[in-house]
Structure 1
Amino acid sequence: MAATALNIPHGFKCSEISTALTLALGLSFAPLAMANDNEQTQIERILVHGEQSICRNALGSADALLKDQGVDFSEAGGVSALPVLNGMMGDRIKVLVDGADITASCANQMNPPLSYVSANQINSVEVVAGVSPVSAGGDNIAGVIKVNSLNPKFTDSENLSFESGEISSGYRSTSDSLLLGAKAGIASKNVSLSYQGAYEDANSYHDGNGDKVLDTLYRAQNHALTAAWRDEKQQLAVKLTHQAIPFQGFPNQYMDMTDNKSYGALVRYLRDLENDGEFSAQLNWHSVKHEMGFFTPEKTGKMPMNTEGSDYSYQLHWRLTMGDDSTLLLGQEYYSYQLDDIWPAVPGTMMAPNDYININDGERRRAAVYGEWQQNLNPLWWLSAGVRYEYVTTDTGEVQAYSNMPMMGMPNVDAEAAKAFNAMDRSRDDNLIDATLLARYQLSAKQQLEFGLARKNRAPNLYERYSWGRGVMATTMIGWYGDGNGYVGNPDLKPETAHTLSAAYKFNGDAWQFSTTAWYSAVTDYIDAEVIGSFNRTSTPAGKRNILKFTNEDANLYGAKFSALYLLADTDSGKWQMLGKLNITRGERDEGNEPLYQIKPLQTELALSHQLGDWENRLAWQWVATKDRVDDRRLENETSSYSLLNLSSSIKWQELSLTFAINNLFDTYYELPLGGVSIAEFKADSSNGFSQVAGSGRSFELGASYRF
């Protein structure tokens, strides 16, 4: 089950892996981590191992392991930020946790897939931006993020014995955060049993001016139990997971998370077909009960919202050796998602006497088949071509407003909207056809060219299609953009179709490593939003927000990534390396060339790293340009340019690892370009309107890990 990894120099830290090495056009996933032993038949892909000593102290959310792989994040709660790839966010990216597809069960996507796994539980992460092979997953147009934590370990002994254990702890000063992690396992030649757990508790952090960034506090814990059995030809693994988040603040949403409890189960079977290839089968179940409301004086209110969601799926994958240096990948998959979203009545208020039923027995089902051919044409050329078909159906039951009576002498727009929604045929079906063509040409032993072309599709999610409310309160509860606006669903939305072209060049020399990638995506029926109204809860123009309806439009996104690594010296004083990165992304609508929402401006990084034995140090300077291309429909804020200096050091002594870091060394004040607006600040003082969420000030961070 080997996986091809990028050639990372010895001592190169996880945080130094270049975003520009996201060779989107040539990266290839093996279904459920199956890989051919002949490495010449596989294109390289981003693969970061969490078990490396340089990453062992990773605690908290998975964000830190992904940000340096070209993944940006739309800020939200402390463990619930939404990933952004190639300028596209949320459901446009397929996030697989141990091969399972977990759906965000929340009108604000407060519980996205990455929130269900902690950094210390992760064995490896893989990122494929843009042109992802059809075997990597469907129902996405931006790429695939694959997080692997299922990694059974066996021994050579016939008897069960203690295999390994690890305890970790961490502290962050800016939010007074405490982080804890634990792992333990027993194993024999044929049996493996293990536990992974993580706990995190954080107060609201402070910005560079020393002011508290309101409503950024949270507490979370994740647990996983794994049991596995194997013999010479097959392996069976069962994994059980549980998450509990009693509270999580969301500064850029009108609501907060007041509880999130989930349970999951996974069964995976792998079989070696000897000379014919490999087969894998997997069953997945995940269930969550999610509650929103208010829990802190930093953002007050009274309005409960309850959501229950369940994911069921299976995947069958074959990797067949066809001879003549060719491999055939085949797969059949099925996904079923069920959702209920009810907002309980609040007696004595306008939110009564009925429960508000937002999504009633919502269903989203996908059935998929794919075939992918990989071929070594000669020692220089490698090709892969694949086609994937998915049939997607969605439906939901009847809904109701808080009340059917007129509101203060005015028509009850929510009651009228519910009546119209219930009268319509709500069943929809979509046919998605993905096709990818990938090629790699070896210019020389040190140089490589890669090309990719893809057609990718994504069907609308349940909230995009079936959020029916039209009143200000109802619409502002919908949306995962952190913009303070309100959103209305559209049952007639079409699937998004992206045609993406990528090209990359990579040089890997003795002292120099260089990589550059350019990509372009033309998206037909991009799910955007049109303004259908506005509201203002204040007496000043700065309090204005819009009500928007999801709609299809055509859009274009394009960008480039550059990375260079230079070995300055490798002497008795240690190994000294310099890393430089640059990333630029643009996105605009076809009509009027209007900027798309949350496109990060130009960003660069320059880092100096040093390694002497088990002692590692890094000094990194990051600069982000002014964000002046903003989405006027969403009233997006401009942000000023800023630069940050970060310092880190780590040392390992036998089985003990220690880390120390100072992030934002000069305590710089800056606003997060993808952070959205601070609704918490607006509720505390509306006179300044909707200001941008500020980034974290200087933070002293400590970490310790002991393996036994």
Structure 2
Amino acid sequence: MAHKIIYRTPYLLSPLVFLTSGLLSPLVFADDTSLEVIEVHGDAQNKHLALGSTESLLSDLGVDFSAAGGVSNLPILNGLMGDRVKVLVDGAEITAACANQMNPPLSYISANQVTSYHVVAGVSPVSAGGDNIAGVISVNSIAPQYTQNSDLAWHSGYVSAKYSTADNGRNFGVGARLASNTLSVNYQGSFSDANSYEDGNGDVVLDTLYRAQNHSLTAAIRDDKQQVVVKLSHQKIPYQGFANQYMDMTDNTSYGVTAQYKRAFASSEFAGQVNWHSVKHDMGFFSAEKIGMMPMKTDAEDISSQLKWRINLDNDSSILLAQEYYHYSIDDWWPSITGSAMMGPNDYKNINNGKRERIALVAEYESQNSKKLWLNTGVRIENINTQVSEVQAYNTGMHMGGMHIGLSDAIAANTFNAGSRNKTDTVVDANVLINYQITNVDELQLGIARKNRAPNLYERYSWGVSNMATTMIGWYGDGNGYIGTPDLGVETAHTMSATYTKLAKDDSWRLSTNIWYTDVSDYIDADIVRNFNSSGIDGNSRNILQFTNVDAILYGAKVDLRASIYQSEQLGQWQVKANITNTRGKRDGNSSTQPLYQIKPLQTQLGISQQVGNVENSLLWQWVDTKTRVDNNRFENQTDSYHLVNLSSKTVWDAFTLSVEVTNLFDQYYQLPLGGVSIAGFKQDNATGFTQLAGQGRSLNLALSYAF
């Protein structure tokens, strides 16, 4: 098989390049007479200047985000969000342990800790990960480095800092590494603190403040055939505002352990990994920007193991056999409030002794049977079990002033406890991926896949039916309430994707076009049960919805261009990059073809960059079209089109790297198409209604990193 080399500019690749790796190492075929495999790492552009959320890194790879907290935005791939996207942190799965998904997997790692990151949208190899229909995002911090000396000694380190004016954001990062020829020890930490940011009108976007810290300690030991790695991690978020939720995060404390083992044999490789992650999560209120008195708590634990054996059949092909196990458990309860007639005298048990267990078997074949053709195909079989114990309401119902308080939830609890709370599904994933190099400058990539995702515990087992109980459920930021459905079915997606790439003979430009189509059976959407209006003001109604299975269709197209446009000794090298993306999603049925929720409208970007010695300058223009296709069931708002201009300059001087950036240069006011509604603003002044969450105004961002 062709050798591997490192390609140091990850953003010059078409989206479907990332489909061609069976182990989440993106591949592209070089302009050569032979087929050359290139392993792409996303850390080349990081330099530890990226601090805080990993959103800044992943957005460059085509990932959109649904607004949530400052470090907890939910990724969206090809119009699909939340659990439909599989997110791996150092190969481990972490489950969002919250009724609002306030602690999604990406919130547990800071951008400065990331050494490589990969995105596989749509058609992904079965070995990349199961239980998803949108694709796989993998971020990694484990990257042991060794020296030629036998004594353990200082290897390298860094300190980084960043300040942003729009939110008075302060971010700090630090790393230190000791190494020998057999041992590597690495510590990385980060601290982030920000006030609520200002929009383009200079108004504060309420309840967008946060504070977070992440720490990791990784040790690795090796010999000439094998390597063992152990990583310890800890996160502490004392508070994080969620402008588009009724609650805020008042604490998130987690601990994790990841252990990896790899061994090379004469004609095969073995890799094993075990993971443990525990989190205690509190929701409530901490700021005058959104007040309340209701507490909510979750205790959750993820335990998993993965065993993978890759066997080389010959010089051009291999087979991967794998077995994976995942166990997730959670308790979600809402403590009673002393003296409250409505929220007491009992604790409200929302998810009691909840469990979600997956067992998977994987077989995958990969072949490079000519200089022009590469093939990956595989099958994944998973058994998925979900279950919960009996629940309880705050009370059995009581009378106050002629009103019956709590009765609906008490009846709902009894009905839920009397029904089935244990469900097992067996699903089959399969894929075929083909890369064909037509000529040295033409490449065709084709993919087809069947993928499945079983409902999460909240989609199946959120049993409350009152306005208060239901509005605590949901990660959509829409102000509506949600009820679970115990017999909810598994989502099954059939996806087809094709990419054609053309590049210049002298490699001065590269044009990539991608189209994709996904047909989803039993897509988990929500139907209206009733509506409510907490303010009594016309136009402020919200809906109570119940999760249900429908059929849905999503499709889209992407065009990406990279080109070198000028080069001289005085003015350096100039490059242009441009892309345009359009995504559509709708229900597919005789009764309804309404648009799906949070599908981003047509968007395009045009950027020009200049590299002169150690200085890199860039100008980026982004335009997003008017959003008119909205989900009426969720009262999704339409948004106006907008454009943003960003300027940045980065210079490297010895061990220092300095970055100066101005985002939203013209301080434009705009509303986030994927932002949801401002519940914090509604609670401050309900006469304004549920307005769309506004984006960040002009911000001057300064970042400095020192490596030693």
| TM bracket (short chain) | over 0.9
CA contact (8 A) 1:62 1:114 kept: yes
Of the candidates 427, 449, 452, which is equivalent to residue 422 of structure 2? 427
For 2:278, the equivalent position in structure 1 comes to 287
One-letter amino acid of the structure 2 residue matched with residue 473 of structure 1:
M
In 2, Cα distance between the equivalents of 1:90 and 1:5? 34
In 2, Cα distance between the equivalents of 1:333 and 1:41? 32
For 1:417, the equivalent position in structure 2 comes to 412
For 1:69, the equivalent position in structure 2 comes to 61
One-letter amino acid of the structure 2 residue matched with residue 705 of structure 1:
S
Tell me: CA distance 1:658–1:494, structure 2 relative to 1, closer, same or farther (3 Å).
Answer: same
One-letter amino acid of the structure 2 residue matched with residue 629 of structure 1:
R
Tell me: CA distance 1:407–1:310, structure 2 relative to 1, closer, same or farther (3 Å).
Answer: farther
In 1, Cα distance between the equivalents of 2:18 and 2:115? 24
One-letter amino acid of the structure 2 residue matched with residue 139 of structure 1:
D
Encode CA deviations 1:34-92: one digit per residue, 9 max, x unaligned: 99xxx9888778x4432x25543111111110011010000000000000000000100
In 1, Cα distance between the equivalents of 2:117 and 2:664? 26
One-letter amino acid of the structure 2 residue matched with residue 345 of structure 1:
S
In 2, Cα distance between the equivalents of 1:3 and 1:101? 30
Tell me: CA distance 1:387–1:171, structure 2 relative to 1, closer, same or farther (3 Å).
Answer: same
Encode CA deviations 1:314-369: one digit per residue, 9 max, x unaligned: 00001110015111011100000000000000122211111000000000000001
Report how far residue 588 of structure 1 moved: 0.2
Of the candidates 433, 437, 446, which is equivalent to residue 442 of structure 1? 437
CA contact (8 A) 2:197 2:204 kept: yes
Q: Does 1:459 align with 2:450?
A: no
For 1:165, the equivalent position in structure 2 comes to 157
CA contact (8 A) 1:3 1:33 kept: no
SS in structure 2 at match of 1:76: coil
SS in structure 1 at match of 2:97: coil
For 1:634, the equivalent position in structure 2 comes to 634
Report how far residue 31 of structure 1 moved: 6.8
Q: Does 1:301 align with 2:299?
A: no
Tell me: CA distance 1:681–1:200, structure 2 relative to 1, closer, same or farther (3 Å).
Answer: same
CA contact (8 A) 1:26 1:440 kept: no
CA contact (8 A) 1:27 1:44 kept: no
For 2:620, the equivalent position in structure 1 comes to 620
For 2:525, the equivalent position in structure 1 comes to 528
Tell me: CA distance 1:40–1:108, structure 2 relative to 1, closer, same or farther (3 Å).
Answer: farther
CA contact (8 A) 1:26 1:131 kept: yes
One-letter amino acid of the structure 1 residue matched with residue 155 of structure 2:
E
Report how far residue 384 of structure 1 moved: 1.4
SS in structure 2 at match of 1:468: coil
For 1:267, the equivalent position in structure 2 comes to 259
Report how far residue 5 of structure 1 moved: 7.9
Report how far residue 396 of structure 1 moved: 0.4
In 1, Cα distance between the equivalents of 2:281 and 2:239? 11
Of the candidates 467, 472, 495, which is equivalent to residue 472 of structure 1? 467
Q: Does 1:328 align with 2:319?
A: yes
For structure 1, which segment, 552-561 or 318-327, has the greater mean C-alpha deviation from structure 2 after superposition? 318-327
Q: Does 1:566 align with 2:563?
A: yes
In 2, Cα distance between the equivalents of 1:507 and 1:142? 26
Report how far residue 406 of structure 1 moved: 3.5
For structure 1, which segment, 510-519 or 239-248, has the greater mean C-alpha deviation from structure 2 after superposition? 510-519
One-letter amino acid of the structure 2 residue matched with residue 283 of structure 1:
V
Encode CA deviations 1:120-163: one digit per residue, 9 max, x unaligned: 00000010000000010000000000111111111110001100
SS in structure 1 at match of 2:683: helix
For 1:315, the equivalent position in structure 2 comes to 306
Q: Does 1:610 align with 2:607?
A: no
Encode CA deviations 1:80-122: one digit per residue, 9 max, x unaligned: 0000000000100100000000000000000000000000000
One-letter amino acid of the structure 2 residue matched with residue 191 of structure 1:
L
Q: Does 1:130 align with 2:86?
A: no
Tell me: CA distance 1:492–1:692, structure 2 relative to 1, closer, same or farther (3 Å).
Answer: same
Q: Does 1:537 align with 2:534?
A: yes
For 1:250, the equivalent position in structure 2 comes to 242
One-letter amino acid of the structure 1 residue matched with residue 309 of structure 2:
W
One-letter amino acid of the structure 1 residue matched with residue 451 of structure 2:
K
One-letter amino acid of the structure 1 residue matched with residue 388 of structure 2:
T
Report how far residue 32 of structure 1 moved: 9.3
In 2, Cα distance between the equivalents of 1:620 and 1:429? 49
In 2, Cα distance between the equivalents of 1:43 and 1:488? 48
For structure 1, which segment, 563-572 or 305-314, has the greater mean C-alpha deviation from structure 2 after superposition? 563-572
CA contact (8 A) 1:43 1:440 kept: no
In 1, Cα distance between the equivalents of 2:477 and 2:466? 19
CA contact (8 A) 1:647 1:663 kept: yes
Q: Does 1:367 align with 2:359?
A: yes
CA contact (8 A) 2:7 2:41 kept: no
For 1:344, the equivalent position in structure 2 comes to 335
Give 1:153-302 correspondences, 5 Å limit.
153-274=145-266, 276-302=267-293
Displacement over 6 Å in runs of 4+: 2-6, 31-35, 39-45
In 2, Cα distance between the equivalents of 1:213 and 1:317? 47
CA contact (8 A) 1:24 1:502 kept: no
Encode CA deviations 1:438-488: one digit per residue, 9 max, x unaligned: 111101112110000000000000000000000000000000000000000
Report how far residue 29 of structure 1 moved: 3.6
For 1:588, the equivalent position in structure 2 comes to 586
CA contact (8 A) 1:49 1:123 kept: yes
Tell me: CA distance 1:126–1:4, structure 2 relative to 1, closer, same or farther (3 Å).
Answer: farther
For 2:550, the equivalent position in structure 1 comes to 553
For 1:21, the equivalent position in structure 2 comes to 14
CA contact (8 A) 2:47 2:705 kept: no
In 2, Cα distance between the equivalents of 1:585 and 1:668? 25
In 1, Cα distance between the equivalents of 2:204 and 2:513? 39
Report how far residue 26 of structure 1 moved: 3.4
SS in structure 2 at match of 1:543: coil
Tell me: CA distance 1:32–1:316, structure 2 relative to 1, closer, same or farther (3 Å).
Answer: farther
Aligned residues: CA RMSD = 2.0
In 1, Cα distance between the equivalents of 2:593 and 2:34? 43
In 1, Cα distance between the equivalents of 2:498 and 2:199? 39
One-letter amino acid of the structure 2 residue matched with residue 49 of structure 1:
G
TM-score under structure 1 length normalisation: 0.96
CA contact (8 A) 2:629 2:638 kept: yes
In 1, Cα distance between the equivalents of 2:458 and 2:124? 26
Q: Percent identity, aligned pairs only?
A: 54
Report how far residue 381 of structure 1 moved: 1.5
CA contact (8 A) 1:206 1:212 kept: yes
In 1, Cα distance between the equivalents of 2:300 and 2:536? 39
For 2:398, the equivalent position in structure 1 comes to 406
One-letter amino acid of the structure 2 residue matched with residue 604 of structure 1:
T
For 1:483, the equivalent position in structure 2 comes to 478
In 2, Cα distance between the equivalents of 1:622 and 1:335? 40
One-letter amino acid of the structure 1 residue matched with residue 218 of structure 2:
T
CA contact (8 A) 2:269 2:310 kept: yes
In 1, Cα distance between the equivalents of 2:361 and 2:158? 41
Encode CA deviations 1:513-552: one digit per residue, 9 max, x unaligned: 1111110000000000000011101121221000000000
SS in structure 1 at match of 2:412: helix
CA contact (8 A) 1:239 1:265 kept: yes
In 2, Cα distance between the equivalents of 1:621 and 1:383? 37
For structure 1, which segment, 503-512 or 52-61, has the greater mean C-alpha deviation from structure 2 after superposition? 52-61
In 1, Cα distance between the equivalents of 2:200 and 2:24? 45
Tell me: CA distance 1:663–1:575, structure 2 relative to 1, closer, same or farther (3 Å).
Answer: same
Q: Does 1:393 align with 2:385?
A: yes
SS in structure 1 at match of 2:117: strand
SS in structure 2 at match of 1:300: coil
One-letter amino acid of the structure 2 residue matched with residue 553 of structure 1:
V
In 1, Cα distance between the equivalents of 2:228 and 2:84? 32
In 1, Cα distance between the equivalents of 2:62 and 2:3? 20
CA contact (8 A) 1:542 1:688 kept: no
For structure 1, which segment, 248-257 or 584-593, has the greater mean C-alpha deviation from structure 2 after superposition? 584-593
CA contact (8 A) 2:7 2:38 kept: no
One-letter amino acid of the structure 1 residue matched with residue 661 of structure 2:
A
Unpaired stretches in structure 1, ≥5 consecutive residues: none
For structure 1, which segment, 205-214 or 511-520, has the greater mean C-alpha deviation from structure 2 after superposition? 511-520
